[in-house]
A and B are shown apart, each in its own frame.
Chain A
């Protein structure tokens, strides 16, 4: 089961190693697709985020709204027609844990950060690709924030 078997090539057939690699490559391409869409739709534009939070344009609301509707329709269709995933599993969405506090307090915290530098996690990576190097500071501190949550987790209301 461990990866070391792949290294020695004793247990796993080479085909399965290749399959894992091409499987992972598919996600790289999915990311590339999403990254291009985020830039071209201007969701990574600090200006657009500011415009959205001031309710001065429909652009971002149209973007998020039509994304949600498309996601809703396409996932419903996938399940309705019993489509299997590429590796033959039944399509299933993992439900989010129930709760209030973590979603309200965590959501507010993230929202305040989002409104300042205008970036949510996706755009941090996209902007780094686009050569906006100061995003490295945002990324470093986002990692620190994630670490802090890991440390404080049990003392926070969830």
Chain B
């Protein structure tokens, strides 16, 4: 029994997780010819929440046709409960030696959990700023660029779309710059 529980709690190697992620693309095509992408939900949420009078044209469309995507996002929350609470990995992420060292150099301890406590401790005002700024860029950038990791890097690349290659390269350039330069700067200021 405990062995089964241990198995359910343990993380999966990339060669198991990666193919299972990739299968989502064809699963959604088969379920109803849907193009896999999660960031569109942010647009649907705006279309639902904004009062009609204050709605920019970008949010005037029939979001009810995209209910499937909102259901998918609801499923993600359930997945988080299942794998992140009920069968949460009790151990810390097994980083490479260099990775663990780099994170400690940022002043962050590697502990069990998906996000370090240092970045979710809301008693620090700087944490609010970091989360808000990150969210703002994610929301703005995914709509401007027309997709996120699931829509461009996974779906777009696997269906050989040129625009998705440009977008994915840009995601990585942005991410490399922010993780290596902007984040250390941020952490030095907020801590």
The interface of chain A, by Cβ under 8 A from chain B, is 3, 23-54, 56-60, 62-72, 74-75, 77-78, 83, 85-87, 89, 91-100, 102-122, 124-135, 137-151, 153, 156
The interface of chain B, by Cβ under 8 A from chain A, is 11-12, 14-35, 38-39, 41-43, 45-46, 49-50, 56-59, 64, 67-69, 71-85, 88, 92-93, 95-96, 98-99, 102-103, 106, 110, 114-116, 119-120, 122, 127-128, 130-150, 152-164, 166-180, 182-183, 186
Chain B residues in 8 Å Cβ range of A62: 14-15, 18
Q: List, sorted by A's number, 20 A–B pairs whose CB atoms are closer than 8 Å.
A: A27-B28, A27-B72, A34-B24, A46-B115, A47-B93, A58-B14, A72-B160, A91-B30, A103-B163, A110-B142, A112-B182, A113-B174, A117-B119, A121-B39, A122-B150, A137-B132, A143-B45, A143-B49, A145-B140, A156-B144
The answer on a CB contact under 8 Å between A74 and B26 is: yes
Chain B residues in 8 Å Cβ range of A65: 18
How long is the Cα–Cα vector from A65 to B19 in the complex, in angstroms?
A: 9
Chain A residues in 8 Å Cβ range of B27: 30, 33
How long is the Cα–Cα vector from A72 to B26 in the complex, in angstroms?
A: 9
The answer on a CB contact under 8 Å between A145 and B25 is: no
The answer on a CB contact under 8 Å between B58 and A141 is: no
The answer on a CB contact under 8 Å between A44 and B114 is: yes
Q: How many A-B residue pairs have CB under 8 A?
A: 519
The answer on a CB contact under 8 Å between A146 and B14 is: no
Closest A-B pairs by Cβ, 4 of them: A35-B79, A31-B75, A111-B174, A129-B80
Which of B33, B50, B57, B59 has most chain A Cβ within 10 Å? B33
Chain A residues in 8 Å Cβ range of B42: 121, 142-143, 145-146
The answer on a CB contact under 8 Å between B179 and A53 is: yes
Chain A residues in 8 Å Cβ range of B28: 27, 30
How long is the Cα–Cα vector from A46 to B15 in the complex, in angstroms?
A: 20
CB distance from A20 to the nearest CB of B (A): 9
CB distance from A23 to the nearest CB of B (A): 7
The answer on a CB contact under 8 Å between B136 and A142 is: yes
Chain A residues in 8 Å Cβ range of B56: 147, 150-151, 153
Chain B residues in 8 Å Cβ range of A145: 42, 135-141, 143
The answer on a CB contact under 8 Å between A75 and B26 is: yes
Chain A residues in 8 Å Cβ range of B146: 96-97, 102-103, 106
**Secondary structure of the B contact surface, majority rule:** helix
CB distance from B14 to the nearest CB of A (A): 4
Chain A residues in 8 Å Cβ range of B173: 107-108, 111
Chain B residues in 8 Å Cβ range of A89: 32-33
The answer on a CB contact under 8 Å between A117 and B175 is: no
A70-B158, A132-B84 given; name 13 further pairs at CB < 8 Å: A31-B76, A32-B78, A32-B82, A34-B76, A36-B79, A71-B157, A78-B26, A93-B29, A96-B163, A109-B144, A111-B171, A125-B80, A149-B58
The answer on a CB contact under 8 Å between A127 and B23 is: no
CB distance from B101 to the nearest CB of A (A): 8
The answer on a CB contact under 8 Å between A100 and B138 is: no
Within 8 Å by CB of B84, from A70, A118, A127, lies: A127
For B50, give the chain A residue with the smallest CB separation. Answer: A147
